Amino acid sequence: MNIQILGTGCAKCNELYEKVKKIVEETNPTATVTKVEDIMEIMKFGVMTTPAIVIDGTIISQGSIPKESEIINWLSKNGKTDLKELVKQSYNDLALASDDKQKCCCNPLAPAAPSKKVYTIMSEDYSQLKGYEPDADLGVGCGLPTQYARIQKGNTVVDLGSGAGNDCFIAREETGETGKVIGIEFAPQMLIKARANAAKRGFTNIEFLEGDIEDMPLPDKTADVVVSNCVLNLLPQKDKIFHEIYRVLKPGGHFCISDVVLNGFFPKEFTNNAAMYAGCIASAIQQDEYLSEIEKANFTEIKVERTKTVEIPDELLREQLDEDLLAKFKAGNVGIYSITVTGKRASE
Between helices 166-175 and 188-200, what is the axis angle to 10°?
40
Q: Which residues pair with 258 in a beta bridge?
A: 229, 340
Alpha-carbon span 77 to 294, nearest angstrom: 32
Nearest to 187 by CA among 49, 86, 71, 119: 86
Residue 114 backbone phi and psi in degrees, to 5: -55, 140
Within 10 angstroms of residue 49's Cβ, the number of other Cβ atoms is 24
Q: Which residues are catalytic?
A: 10, 13
Strands 2-6 and 335-344, bridge-based pairing:
unpaired
Answer whether 262's CB lies under 8 Å from 281's CB.
Answer: no
Q: What is the DSSP letter of 100?
A: G
Q: Which residues pair with 223 in a beta bridge?
A: 249
Is there a cis peptide before residue 51, judged by omega within 30 degrees of 0?
yes
Q: Three-state DSSP class for 293? A: helix
Alpha-carbon span 46 to 9, nearest angstrom: 18
Overall size of the chain counted in residues = 348
Answer whether 275's CB lies under 8 Å from 47's CB.
Answer: no
Angle at 223 between CA 94 and CA 258, to 5 degrees: 45
